[in-house]
Structure 1
């Protein structure tokens, strides 16, 4: 659960902005944090008091290595880390789901199908870990996170290489007594068989709500683990023989992880389908909580004057527009999540051959209480950043952009062009990219290649801009070098490109890890995309030292105007408009009071207006920045999500009411959603608008709203959090978490499998790209 920051918690760590505490223990503190690109992470730090202890530092490094080994499918993906820092830290993905102990507290003992699915997946996770000669040594309910896609194992603080006794004194028991193996309880070597013993205890807890050796003092628990028989009363009888073998005092009598997985489940079906509805709702609530949480800092005790360790003030944000507790971000993800236990020789999953038929709706207008449909046309997994070397790249937040007949993404293995009709990858670059260092006009692609992540303070390396062949993903001509700009500045940015011009941000001055520093100068530059000639250069306002957010959140060119969403040094969002021919400033105005991360890449503009949400829905004149219209005049208390624009109509979701269609020219309401299903619609992403339908997230999934009847005509289960209407392919492209999917665009009927015939849908989404070693 989220807790406020204390008065002496830092505001930032290594460029990550801290927003809340997730927990604290004897070794360190775990924070909820966000990167400059808007990615939410769990950031673990070591207490300063023990950071000088070499053994503690070694444990922290091994924890980082173990987390990388298990990877993002079975664990929390490692986003960034510096175990050699003065205060070591580790940033991983923030897992959207409760720990197993919280889930059992909320829902009671899990039904047998849930326990079997859980056990098979965890056995696969341990198999992957053991294949790298690493044992966990502290598997317990609080270290198992339940997501819609499957369980994830976290906290490798006492993991170690099998047979390595350098960090364990002989005769010393290290771990959690209630879930230790007998050999671990006596300080002997903990082998993979010890993890199997602990897993059986975790499954017994899931099935009964209590551990197999009860509760009490550590000494009592250690005695029972070593000598007493486990209490398996209330365990479903079909599970008893397998769990009894796993809990044998003799490690040689226990099954292997592969045998355990095979005895529990065949790996078919979707993991979310095995979870209780109450648990799925809690996953959705936790997903929503992350965005609704208002960061704040506890005051210092009386007589204490010390502030945050960084000296920066505590961060605040405007409360995100309230949505229902079962946000589509979590609950809809639960419906489309995939799972399977994977052994070490099957890290990527099976691969499909093409699009999959979807099942048709049984109701023309489903209600929010009805179970949404699983009729995606196809669904594939995105590989996470795979980094088993000492070079730790920052995570790139994927963004969908239309690229001719394809969709362009930044994924764990680099840029990728995806066929929206089939989900097949046309190409990938193989280089990890930051989303703000890539831009496209739908025909050409440009990027700032990341030649080196760890620089030397004071070092300067010329910034290079590559042209990427949209057909092959290969580096093409022209390739331009800017000798006075420093490529090591991660805040460098490609803002947008249009009409033969590329607009970028470059900085001069020495590199310093951790963001901007005094002495750097930053410029907005226009470059001819064909010749590489610089057309104009404009200085940018100075940034606060140690911050690291790029200057611009989004950019578009309309006629002779360059329209920019700019994040100020004070963390505010402003609209700034320049003459695209000369760079001369035309006007500037406040855009929204919301957090900058929420409006990244969200800029809606046509040749007359800029359209703004996250508050009142309004239009500013492109000519001078003056307000052309706002719905707040007739609806003073109304709040709207970000808008989208299609054929002269602005679409946005109004808080507690649903989708509203407004004339772009005059601001008059054309129609409002009917049926009451939009009362809890999502307000964080713009609707995806087409000519016949508008797609909007709701508590039950992705809703397809007919522009003629103004009602929801279909609802699709989805894990998507960003949607793109690809009219040429006639699909709605959805991106969210580790999955990309496509949903029907047109009104043609969706064909269901014939009666008595098995569906051709695979038991889990395919994986199309392998992460680079």
Structure 2
């Protein structure tokens, strides 16, 4: 099959046909079979014979679910039920027309954003009947199917039939579910003997699916159910169309890549088209394109050119554009280098199509599934940790640049300190190094003693960094302190003892009135989302470290329900309301009229807005000065607190990125309008997606994969 295009840029699949397939193609021309693309034109008198089919973006099951050994990776049983039900309906339609498919193997089943397709027209044959024999050229040769999919009666070049399609379907369903062939592997004759005299190995299949597959694998063709009968079994009955649910993530990745390649082929326009061929002069139209028909000629003419926008719009019909299959049987292959589809040399500022997510620029896979994205980027680099190693990657390509061992504190062990440098907390020292190449500027071990050590790097401003000091492992000391350190002079400026309850993870915000230090909630995946807690807040003098004041806020939701801004305002979600305080005098500034639940995302302060996500309100933006609701936007997902990740904004301040465990949405920060939304199918990791916005790129991560999207 080839991808053809006429001068109006309308695409179609051009299929070269063997003579043995011409009769079947003639039976399918002019009829509609669900799951079989429409035959647009048929030329069986030409040499070679050819047909054109409606072009629907699709990738083979073998391409997206195949392993390195040539077999299929095991797929979830529910996915195989839906696949099997759809294929039964398509086979029933083909068989009703008197056509057997003859290619029901992973490479002969195409996956789309909707239902799967059977479009190997060159393998179709007219089915033998009692009244009509079969000519020799209609016999499917032994090599047409892989041996495990060949029905016993077809071995040796004997006639293929509708019953042989059912047998191949049974093998496909068993293999796709378990990753094994029901009669093992070997020469066709050996497998035919096993199928005729042995019992299929169906261990691992659900009982009802195993029953349906066993019936399809009956050694006698007449004992096998028809496709219509098989589609009515409880194991394969589809209560909803396949298109109602999102497609597996790797299917969407492959389709997006295919669409990009198709669009790139079209950029040369007509100069690359042959001058005097049928492909160039005959219109090859899709019924779905909305063509018009000329009353004078009776020929269809295109409603308009198939632009990249139109192609991608059709690609994403019914789904939001999933890009992740990691953590499932459709996972990307883990590599230590960026994938082949890395696009480091392409412009990053490509305008996204309305409603559709942008194409991923690159991805990087971690076979150990230990990747944590740090909120540090600069000098064209971003940072991640894997285990106890710090890794730097290029923002534009995802390529790993350098790595070094680190020791983990209870929070971010790296701070961006300006000048293309980072401060790294290692096992026994503070290390200042270059973000670009990892080169060390200096190492300081004065903070690490027998009794005390650096627990956290809190914040940096200019050449001053603030540290959370605490007892070293095995030390008898129990006091915690806040320390200031001059990076240029490499000396401690001051150290101040922290209050007794400031022993967990801390957050420090430099403000004109002083250093505001907040105790963050403990990370507890089993916390009560409706519980409340007390939030201690203290202020220290910037110059001397002297304690200025301390107060406690009651009834704050147990999750990350508070934030401090650079002016000294303190925002909390407390007992159903969002509240803002002037932290220095402690006076309340406003209280929201909108009520919030305990199941919420971390608060995000951006520009003039305070943003929050919860299951009741969706995404909410409040005015930071008044608490007035500026806009609300709901997400297409039932939200619970453990699904809500930390939001991010683009460097331009125009786009808000909202992550959950299963989706990523991009919203216009001014209006809340949804710009696009991605669905991540099959993710097993329970944590929300991690985000990092750089000037041109949004980096998205989970433990097993990191990828980049254009960000505006």
Scaled by the length of structure 2, the TM-score of the pair is: 0.48
Structure showing greater radius of gyration is 2
Q: TM-score, normalised by structure 1?
A: 0.45
